[in-house]
Structure formats: C-alpha cells, structure tokens
Amino acid sequence: MFDNLSDRLGGVFDRLKGRGALKEQDVRDAMREVRVALLEADVALPVARRFIDAVTEKAVGSEVLKSVTPGQQVVKIVHDELVAMLSGDEGDEASEGLNLEAKPPVVVMMVGLQGSGKTTTTAKLGKLIREKHGKKAMMASLDVNRPAAQEQLAVLGEQVDIATLPIVTGQQPVDIARRAMESARLQNFDVLLLDTAGRLHVDEALMAEMKAVSSVSAPTEVLLVVDALTGQDAVNVAQSFSGEVPLTGVVLTRMDGDARGGAALSMRAVTGKPIKFAGTGEKLDAIEVFRPGSVADRILGMGDVVSLVEKAAATIKEDEAAKLAENFEKGKFDLNDLRMQLKQMQNMGGLGMLAGMMPGMKKAKQAMAASNMDDKVLVHMDAIIGSMTAKERANPNLMNAKRKKRVAAGSGTDVQRVNKLLKMHQEMGRAMKQLKKMGGLKSLAAMFGGGGGGAPGGMPPGMGGPAGGGLPGLGGPGGQMGGMPPGLPGIGGPKDKK
C-alpha cells in the first residue's frame, strides 16, 4: 500500500544522508518534498501540514544540524512523528486489540458503509477472538437491507467455527439486537459481534438505526470499518460516523491493495480514535493488529520484523520445526526438509510478503518484480520435488540426467529448473555441514544470545534460516541479497539470471 510514498520519502532521505553537513535550508527543502509526497499519497491537508510543521521544528534544531549524522537524525524525527500521527497521544500501544474484559457478553458493534467489508471483518474478528483470546463468541447480522447478508454471515460463521444467531425473517435490526443479547446471555457467550447494516452513503436513516442499536446493546467496542482503497473518501466517512456514533476504534480493510496510504495516515488524526486492526487479504485469517511503529517502519523501508516473527510463530508447526532442527543438528538436509520449508514460506504469505517485511529487502522485492517473479516459483519448486520418488527425495544424489528429464516432465517444468533446485539444495546442505562443524544449533544460538536449539536472537524455530530450523534463507548461511536462499530463481543466487 505504501510503496509509492515509501519510494518518494526514500529518495528525499537518501539525498539528505548523502551530505556530510546540513543547513537549515536543506532541511526545509526536504520537508517541502515530503509535504508534496504526503499530499500525493492522499493524506488530509491539515494532517500533512501539522506533520511537516512538527518535523521541521525539531529537525532545524542545533542538536540535529551539528550532529555527526544529521541525515540519520532527520529520518529518526520523521519516523517518530509518523508513529505519533498514527497513534496519537496514547502512544504505540493504544491501538492494540479489543477491550474484552467487561462483563459478558462483551458487545462489539461493527459499523460502516456498504461494501467496506464489515461482514467479512466480523467473521475475521470472531476467529481471532476465539483463537488468540480464548473467548467464546457469537455473531449476529442486523443487515436486513442487503440481500442474503444474514445468510452470508451464517456461511462465514460455519467456515470459522463461530456460532451465529438464527435468522428470523422480517425481524428489524433493533429487535435482532435484543434477541442476540438475550441469546448470548442464556448461552454464556463471552463476546457478541453485531454486524450492522450499511448504506451506499451516510444518511439520517443509517445514523438513526446505528444509534437505536447502540442504545439497546450498550456496546463496549464500536468499530468503524472503512475501505483503505477509497482514499480521502474514507476520511470523510470516518468524520461523519465519529460525529454520530461513539466510536472506539477503526478497522482498515484492503491494506494489501494498491491504495496510496493517505487514509491510514489521516484516520487517527481525523477521528481521534485508534486504528485497531488492518485487513490484509481475502482469507479469514488475513487480519492483524495495527501497530503504528510497524507501519512507520514499512513506510521508511525499515521492514516489519515484529509482524514477521508473529506470522512465523502462527504458521510454523512446532513438530515440523523440531524435526527440521533435529535434522540440521545431525547435518542432514534432504529434499523433504526443503519441501517443508517451501511450504512454510507459502503459508506465511509467499516471497513478496516476506520481502516486504524484512529490513533492507526493498531492493530484493523490486528485483523480483522487475524479473516478473512471483510466488509461482514456490509452487513450481514444490511440484518438482513432488514429482520425485520417495528415494530420490531422501537421496538427491540419485538424480541423473534420465531422472531429471522424467521429473521435469512430471512437474511441467524443464531440466534447467530441476538443476537449479538441486543446486540450491546442495548449497544449503553444505551450510548444514559447516554449522555442524561449528558446534551445531546450540553453539550458534549462544553466539547470538538466543535459546538453545532456537533461531538466533531468541526468534521462534523457523525464523533463522537453516540455523533456526525453518525458512530457507531468512538469515541463513550462504544467502544472497539480504539472506534469501542462494540459487532461488530471480532472487540473485549464484549465476542466476532468470
């Protein structure tokens, strides 16, 4: 979402950091470019103006201009102000999660315009509440206007294994809310999610309905769901709702899209309410807590290691990671192990997702895009390994020319790609042998201050490349271009031009 803004700001700061000393005019000229970049990203004018004034006031101080690294100091000031703009006075922790500690059933009321993604987001939150908070949740659709809206929520409820209120034809929203409250109490549900109706635009009838539902359900959380792709219109919608309904937070959907990012940057300042969650895809687990610090890091090209580690912890299976770690400890690494790691990469969102979250990987991501490389590479590699026999996967040395032709035909690829995969496996295998000579995982973890058997730095198994028993190349030995696996097509492995 923030790629264009990130590129513009990156160019401005590269020029600043390239100078040994800065004058006040240099800073003001740079801030003028930043202001233009923010406005082009659809940030609300008052928000952009306040941001630039705050940064300029701090950046032209003598401590910055006379420091050893003035360019770096300016970048830090911009980062801190981005965090402040996204989190408000409460700081980075203000937006984290829902308040579910009230007397049950805790009512979470979802509001927003039609098409913003309220129903899907309701199901995503229900799943998150059950899995992350261990709470028993029920969902109820109050949308009697949109055809099949209630049926849609019922279907989503089955998919995420969350109970939904039975549909009573002809019942009106306020009566549905009362019935949902009573049902939640009788069945001892911890949380009740109310999916309210939307409209194509804000009108008096919509607001009256929202107020009536709020009065009978007394919600602990009122979350405004807005589509980030609508840009400045999303800010206008947020203003309208915040003036009529007691909002407690905002959920931005389609944060994985190609919007310019202005809505996200403006929303906190305009509504005065924290952005609590961000929808990052169509899947029902594609929602994450909105962290201002992480978003600021992404905008300035610093990656998002916190989210990356969380994603790894959520997707990597402990038994698989333990098995891989055991094999690595023995210096053993066959194609079954490689296949397991490739699947872990796919589960975490693929190469593009990982590259976008890792510090310093922006250029690698651009190189992937320039070479028309996408996550099909992982699919092709998995197909190649899947076309081998069990003996070939366990002992890749059996792969002669005749076998390679058979595997290439069976996987719908060519011999060249089979050779690249085998070369990648050989190099990772050599890294495993080197690791064993160094004393194994425990010795390496101790060097980095991590726990025994885990990835460096105490990261969960699977996050330290081969050394961590998980994803190939995320910091693993011998990696190219920021630690991606050597020989992986299109990433920059040895002699790899494709």
> What would the pLDDT profile of 357-369 be if each residue is shown by its tens digit?
555 445 555 555 5
Beta bridge partners of 108: 193, 221
DSSP reduced 3-state for 311: helix
- Helix runs in 66-148, H state only: 70-87, 118-133
Whole-number pLDDT of residue 139: 96
Q: Which residue has the higher pLDDT, 109 or 456?
A: 109
The dihedral of CA 318, 256, 293, 368: what is its sign?
A: positive
Q: Report the distance separating Cα 152 and Cα 173, nearest Å.
A: 16
| pTM to 2 decimal places | 0.61
Q: Report whether the peptide linkage leading into residue 105 is cis, meaning its omega lies within 30 degrees of zero.
A: yes
Helix (H) and strand (E) counts for the chain?
A: 22, 8
Q: How far apart are CA 384 and CA 421, in angstroms?
A: 8
Q: What b/e readout covers 36-50, taking b as 16+ CB neighbours within 10 angstroms? A: ebbeebbbbeebbee
User: ∠102-250-270 over CA atoms, to 5°?
Assistant: 125
Q: What pLDDT is recorded for position 329?
A: 59
pLDDT of residue 259: 56
Length of the chain, in residues? 498
User: How confident is the model over 450-494, as pLDDT tens digits?
Assistant: 443 333 333 333 334 433 333 333 333 333 333 333 334 333 333
Q: In degrees rounded to 5, what are phi and psi of residue 115?
A: 90, 0
At 450 the pLDDT is 43
Q: Which pLDDT band holds residue 170 (cuts at 50, 70, 90)?
A: confident
Report percent pLDDT > 70 for the chain: 66
**Predicted confidence (pLDDT) per residue in 119-128, tens digit:** 999 999 999 9
Q: What gap in Å lies between CA 417 and CA 91, rounded to an integer? A: 49
User: What's the CA gap between 39 and 232, in Å, rounded?
Assistant: 10
pLDDT at 460 (0 to 100): 37
Highest mean pLDDT among 58-67, 299-308, 330-339, 443-452: 330-339
**Placement of tokens 């040994």 in the chain:** 20
Q: With a cut of 60, say whether residue 114 has pLDDT above it.
A: yes
Tell me what the pLDDT averaged over the chain comes to: 74
Residue 190 confidence (pLDDT):
93
Distance CA 437, CA 56 (A): 53
How many CA atoms does the CB half-sphere of 196 hold within 13 Å? Answer: 28
**What average pLDDT score do residues 118-147 get?**
92
Strands 137-141 and 191-195: parallel
Using CA atoms, how far apart are residues 196 and 183, in angstroms rounded to an integer?
17
Q: Do residues 193 and 138 lie in contact, with contact meaning Cβ atoms separated by under 8 Å?
A: yes
Angle at 402 between CA 401 and CA 405, to 5 degrees: 85
Summarize pLDDT for 394-434 with one digit per residue, the tens.
888 899 999 999 999 999 989 998 998 888 888 877 776 67
pLDDT at 332: 67
pLDDT at position 453, please?
A: 38
